[in-house]
Structure 1
Amino acid sequence: MSYDDIRKATVIRYPYLWAREARAGETEGGKERPIAVGVRVVRADGDLVLFFPITTKEPEKARFAVEIPAIERRRAGLDADRRCGSSRRQSFYLEPEPPIGRFSKAFFLPLLREFIVRRKAFIEVVRFR
């Protein structure tokens, strides 16, 4: 995958590391999963990328998460018959595979706006190369 492919609302595969795993000292996610790219900020000292993990598990009530509608699951290259939702995370390790899909602006931009409103309440995992 080219880093130019990493754009807002693009869905890629990523070995996602949850905050609880990072606190336990782990440095890599236990399995590769689809994630949505929230924001990519190009910087001279290394890009900052915000990722929204996609999961089929029911999120905890206090977590920032939304259920992804079937039409958006199809657009993103996900299984349209399986419920899934997205929450948020950041890191740097990416597989060299092409994106699997992309969410529509109508679905993704309100999600991103809501994240911005709530961002101070989130736990982040910061990674450096």
Structure 2
Amino acid sequence: MIYMLDTNAVSNAAMNRGKVRETMLGHSPSNIFVSNIVLAELMYGFAKKSRPTLQATTEALLSTMTVLDWDDSVSDVYPAFRVGIEAKGRSLSYMDMLIAAHAHSIGAILVSSDAGMHNALADKAVDWY
């Protein structure tokens, strides 16, 4: 099974909150991914509020994972994925929808502590917190 961590999962792992980091260690690093959209959100957070120690810890953590680019294959999957979520009466923020679609495009389980993600994705999301 492969996993894609969302922004809060990476943040929780970097801050050693919950059991995210511990759970990650139980999986092969080759099975854990991060979307470059998550990377952008994290970097935005550090630009907004300087936290050099946390940024260094986060960057070190990210260096152990594969950061996947949003490419044409994800763009091809996104419309039907979003329509499917919305047809169920569910909604996500735009960034969360992009991250969820990215995970879906590679067949990954999304790791998130966001209840909205779990509501929208059902069995395609897991909380390691």
Name the TM-score class by shorter chain.
Answer: under 0.3
Higher relative contact order (CA 8 A, sep 6+): 2
TM-score (norm 2): 0.26
